[in-house]
Amino acid sequence: MDIRIEGLSKTYRGQTQALRDITLRIEPGMFGLLGPNGAGKTTLMRILAGVLRPTRGALWVGDHDCSTERGRIAVKRLLGYLPQDLGVYPDLSAHEFLDYLGLLKGLRDTQARQRRVEDLLEMVGLAEVAGRKLKGFSGGMKRRVGIAQALLNDPQLLIVDEPTAGLDPEERIHFRNLLADLGARRTVLLSTHIVEDIAQTCQRLAVMKSGQVVFCGAIGALVEAARGNVWQVTTTGAKPEGKFTVISTMRLASSAQYRVVGEAPPHTTDAATERVEPVEPGLEDGYVWLMREQRPSVLV
Amino acid sequence: MTAFARLRYELRALGPAAFVIPLLVTLIYIGFAWIAGDSALRNGASDSFAHYQAMRGLLGLIENGLPLAAGLQVATITGADPALELQLALPGSYRATGALRLALASLWALLVAVAVNALIVVAGYWPSSLISPTPQGLLIWLSPLLVFVTLGTTLALVFRSRVVSAAILALLWIGQFLFEPLFLSDGLLKLVYLFLTEQVGITSYWLTNRLILLGLALGLLCAALWLLGRNEWLLGAEA
């Protein structure tokens, strides 16, 4: 299911401009949406989910025009949505919560709905605690309930906003694999500020900053953008300083290794600096390079 | 079957407090009414005075105790839907879900009030010399109950905070007692005084007062339903 966004803007009352003239095309499969906090990702997700209305612009999901009420409702029927702040009814069990949302999503056949709920609980590994009240669930268990509810209606479009926030490493890997599997059969829009989640699951992504899309394309293209601008600095002296961003620091026995992104390599005249060498860029390097550069006209 | 399942889940989503608190308030007021009557007798008052004291306590329960409890409950329910964003992304209208929950919480308070009303009549504490128990007599509690319920909902939606809305409701409730002379001395304010029966009795403007309160409740209900359809406001995105 294709998503076409043209000239989309959102201004909240009080004149806060959350989105500025966004144009995007999202094709079936996994698509990542990356950006710092406050970039406008959640507003865009909410508009796509029909929760908020844009101030300006056009939005098509498949054949449905989301500028109309009928179009928004039609999209909601095809949609699975996991919001960033997933709230649950604490006095309901996981099974009851899913059954309730299944009802609200229009799954009227009781037996088929119950089977679907049980299958999803099994899929997210919560079958054994299905009868336990949600107020006793950990953050990770609630996120799993969240993904299960998003899949209740076997959606053609799945929108997940920061799905791995607060999960432990094992749960994050499980979630990423689950999303990648789901992306094989539908359009999955993954919004996050965790670069690793995108790198491991998506082929294409958009990067947002200050309400604008500053990059849209293949992951490889964003990685390539940083080529020649990523270095590894090994030094026994102080942390390198200059016009670059330190991506990571690794303490060794008698020295330290820094991975830096910048326009020019760090100075090598310092006696304590043992080595400065260019390295292969990764998605995180590309993202940081883009955030430093902010050249939307060049990269979009 | 589907409708029944939906109702069952909506009741569960309200939480047990929505059902327990009106009952607790009833028990507390009945206890105070009994103490008021009993202490009057112990202090040498006549039977009729002790009966009057107990009657006032029970009238207080239906006219100001239950309405406050119901108002606080719906404010809590409306001001804090934990799964709001999920609800807003569903094909159905959240306004309908909000209205259904409001109706269920109000219905329970209404049922408790009817039961207490019947109990008061059966026990002989109804002021039958002043007004018949039904149907006009029901306005003793129906008008303030609906005002508190709809006001609680509207405040919770306006401020998006159960604490703020509960505090305003509590202040309004206390203010009715503290500023009673002010309310009753003003030609307009006395028409919206909420606890007229218990504090003053059945006066010449009592029915007008009750009907105006019902109209006020209707206006507040319209405001609440309008706000329930504004997603941006509900999410706190509309400053």
CB pairs under 8 A between A and B: 88
Is the CB of residue A51 less than 8 Å away from at least one CB of chain B?
Answer: yes
Predicted confidence pLDDT, tens digits, chain A (300 residues): 899 999 999 998 877 889 999 999 999 999 999 998 889 999 999 999 999 999 999 999 999 998 888 999 999 999 999 998 889 999 999 999 999 999 999 998 999 999 999 999 998 889 999 999 999 998 888 988 999 999 999 999 999 998 887 778 888 888 888 888 888 889 999 998 888 889 889 989 999 999 999 999 999 999 998 888 899 988 887 777 778 888 889 888 888 888 989 888 777 666 666 788 888 999 999 999 888 866 444 443
3-state secondary structure at position A197: helix
Residues 172 through 231 of chain B touching chain A, CB cutoff 8 Å: 231
Residue corresponding to tokens 């609980």: A121
> How far off is chain A from B110, nearest CA to CA, in Å?
24
Residues of B in contact with A13 (CB under 8 A): 232, 238-239
Domains and CATH numbers, chain A: 3-218 (3.40.50.300), 228-279 (no CATH)
CA distance A100 to B82: 14
pLDDT, tens digit (0-9, with 9 covering 90-100), for B125-145:
888 777 877 788 889 999 999
> Looking at beta carbons, which residues of chain A come within 8 Å of B234?
none
Partners of residue A49 in chain B, C-beta under 8 Å:
89
Which residue in the set A49, A76, A87 is minimally distant from B83, CB to CB? A87
- Looking at residue A247, what DSSP letter applies? E
Instruction: Compute the distance between CA of residue A99 and CA of residue A89 in angstroms, rounded to an integer.
Output: 12
Mapping DSSP to helix (H, G, I), strand (E, B) and coil, where does residue A143 land?
A: helix
CB contact under 8 A, A105 and B90: yes
| Token pair recorded at residue B11 | 């009741």
Q: Which residues pair with A19 in a beta bridge?
A: A10
Buried-state track A194-233, b at ≥16 Cβ within 10 A, e below 16: bbebbbbbbebbbbbbebbbbbbeebeebbebbeebbbbb
Residue A13 contacts B where some CB pair is shorter than 8 Å: yes
Q: What is the pLDDT of residues A188-244, one digit of tens each?
A: 999 988 888 898 899 899 999 999 999 999 999 999 988 888 999 888 877 777 788
- Is a pLDDT exceeding 50 seen at residue B164? yes
Question: Residue A133's pLDDT is what?
Answer: 94
Q: Count CB-CB contacts under 10 A for residue A295.
A: 12
pLDDT given for residue A129 in this prediction: 95
The answer, for B237 touching chain A at a CB cutoff of 8 Å, is yes
pLDDT at B198 (0 to 100): 85
ipTM of this complex = 0.87
